[in-house]
Every structure is written in structure tokens, then in C-alpha cells.
Amino acid sequence: MDLVTLAQLILLILRNLNFKPRKHNLEDIAYAISAYLLGVQITKLGIPPSTLYYYTKKLGVKRRKEERPTCPSCNSNKVIKNGLSRGKTKYKCKTCKRTFYQTPNHKLGRDQKERILKEYLNRMSMRGIAKVEGKPLTTVYSLIKRKGVEAYVNLLVLQEQLKGFTAKVTILDESWTYLRVRHGPKREDIWIWNALADGTPFFTTGDRDYGSFRFLLNSLPKSEVNYTDNYSVYQVLDNHIASKKYTYTVESYNSYCRAHLARLARDTRGGNRSKRMVDYSLALLNVMYPVIYSREITPLNEAYRKGVENIRENLI
């Protein structure tokens, strides 16, 4: 029951009981009693506590007992109020002396975590996911970042293990994205270096120079043939063939990443603010939706497939 409805009900009861206060209006007393019962603070009415106590005793009503949270540390019920901070009520535990806020529970179940990751990897923004799932944006962001870091680290370990293999064909290319804004002086260009070794994706992010390309080159297994475009940094590769005729598969992988991640789509509001989140998002995509761009089964892509399946099972 809201404040107005309760005040009207109390006013009707006071009139039926034929109360005639001397100094205060009956309507103000009714509002003061209803606010007192509901725990709402009203200071403009000017009703003294003695008058409020007199009429509540005459009516035979009692204030609703406030439900206070239990201590999150020791689960004790001996909790008292401890002031306000930023508009939120603080509580203090008399047992362990901890001060805390009464915050809603934002814990995520296993099914909801998996659903959030799938929504993120199917071009939904974090704000959209927060609205759909009914969770705070910070909760969604923390989950995606935490799982992204875990997937990124495990992929680095897997790439070190795959260095012992030799790929038949490796195709390399780079794709462009940006940080912060699409246009203007605040924009920072980011280049995603991609490689498909027997269809197995490898990636790194950075500038469009040899320093960034060297990180990708150091993570790749040896290859019998390397196909690239005519960009100059690829001239350091052995068994190198420069032609756009053979790079259509890695360009298809670039489009695949843009189609699944809103932060990589051009001219959208889902931009990047952190270079690391680009790495984590690509790692999540490769783990949750593993794709091998090769019809031929080789020891390299078979070992990658099994490794990614193991990472995905332990991720959620």
C-alpha cells in the first residue's frame, strides 16, 4: 500500500472516531501517521513526536518492523544502521564490526553465464546484454573480461604447444579497427594481425609495423608455404608467395570476426576503449565458436581442435 492510499484510509478512520485536534489539521496527522507506519521520512508537516505517539496509540497501530540484512561476513542478525553514504543506507554488524551496504544479489548461474557470452559473441553490445539479462553493466563487463582473460591465457599456452608442429600452408593478413571514436583526433588505429596455419587461427594486435608482426611471427609454427599480400613486412618470411589470389580464406576470417563482435564492426556505436578487450574478445570468439578454415585434417589443426575443446569445457 502506498503513502497516499494509507493516509486516506487513516483520515477516514479518524473522522469516524470524531477526533478533533486543536493545533494540527486532521489531514496532516493522517499523512504523518501513514509516513511513520511505512518508514517514510516527512519533515514539512511539523507534527511533534508526542502528538504522533498519542494518535497511533489511540488507533492501536504499530510501525512495520524494518527488515535488516544479515552480515555478509558472519551471517549475524545483530545489525544496526550506520548512517548514509551516497544516498545508500550503511549497516554495521555488532558481532564482527563490519560496515556494509544492502546490495541486491547479482550472482550469475552457469546457464546465464554461457548465455551472456553467446550474446556478446553474436554482435550484442554489453549495454544491450545488461538490459536483456536484467543485470548491471559492471557485472556483464566483469564476466566478459574475466572469461576473456582466461581464454586469452589458455590460447597463448596452446599456441606454445603447437610450435612443435609444421604447417603445410600459412596465410597471413591484417585488418583495421580503432579505439574510442570513429572520426576525430582522439581515434587510435589498431591493426589485427591474423594467420591461418592449416586453417588454425592465430592473432595479435598492435600497429601496422614489423614490431607488431614479429609477435605474431614468433607464435606461429613452421610452415612449408606462406601466402600473403604485397605488404612489405611479409618479405622476411621464408617460402613466401605474395598474391591476393591465395588470401581469400584469411580475409573471410576477418569478416567472420567483424560479423560476430560488435566492437569490430565499422561505423557503429559499439566501439573499443581498450586494446586488451580486443584481444580478450577475439580469444573468446576462438574458444566459444572455434572455426578451422581447412577441409584437410592435419596433425596441427587436430591438436588445436582438441585443445580448444578442453579450454571451452573449463571456461564455463
**26 has a pLDDT exceeding 90:** no
Mean pLDDT of 26-47: 75
Mean pLDDT of 94-99: 90
Cα dihedral sign, 137-138-139-144: positive
Predicted pLDDT at 115:
94
Mean pLDDT of 141-146: 94
**157 has a pLDDT exceeding 80:** yes
Q: How far is CA 47 from CA 2, 26, 41, 258, in A?
A: 20, 11, 12, 65
**44 has a pLDDT exceeding 90:** no
Q: Contact at 8 Å (CB) between 25 and 52?
A: no
Beta bridge partners of 204: 193
Stretch among 48-57, 146-155, 245-254 having the lowest mean pLDDT: 48-57
Q: Contact at 8 Å (CB) between 118 and 147?
A: no
Mean pLDDT of 155-170: 94
Predicted pLDDT at 31:
79
Mean pLDDT of 132-151: 93
48-73 pLDDT, tens digit per residue, is 777 877 777 777 776 666 678 888 88
Residue 4 confidence class, pLDDT cut points 50, 70, 90: confident
Give the position of cell 542478525: 77
Share of the chain above pLDDT 70, in %: 92
In angstroms, how far is the first alpha carbon of the chain from the final one? 43
- How far apart CA 221 and CA 219 sit, in angstroms, is 7
Predicted pLDDT at 253:
93
* DSSP per-residue string spanning 42-87: --SS---HHHHHHHHHHHT--PPPPP-PPPTTT--S-EEEEEEETT
Enter the pTM of the model. Answer: 0.69
Predicted pLDDT at 68:
80
Stretch among 130-134, 269-273, 292-296 having the lowest mean pLDDT: 269-273
Mean pLDDT of 112-118: 94
- How far apart CA 131 and CA 101 sit, in angstroms, is 24
**1 has a pLDDT exceeding 90:** no
Instruction: Read off φ and ψ for residue 292, nearest 5 degrees.
Output: -115, 120
Using alpha carbons, select from 61, 60, 91 the residue that is nearest to residue 74: 91
- How far apart CA 207 and CA 278 sit, in angstroms, is 14
Residue 64's CB is within 10 A of a number of other CB atoms, namely: 10
**145 has a pLDDT exceeding 90:** yes
Predicted pLDDT at 23:
78
What is the arrangement of strands in the sheet containing 200-206, beginning at the earlier edge strand?
A: 200-206, 188-197, 166-179, 222-228, 240-242
Stretch among 197-211, 223-237, 259-273 having the lowest mean pLDDT: 259-273
Residue 231 confidence class, pLDDT cut points 50, 70, 90: very high
174-215 pLDDT, tens digit per residue, is 999 888 766 677 778 899 999 999 999 999 999 999 999 999
Long-range pairs for 70-73: beta carbons < 8 A, 24 or more residues apart = 71/95, 71/96, 71/98, 71/100, 72/98, 72/100, 73/98, 73/100
- How far apart CA 65 and CA 74 sit, in angstroms, is 23
Residue 300 confidence class, pLDDT cut points 50, 70, 90: very high
Predicted pLDDT at 185:
75
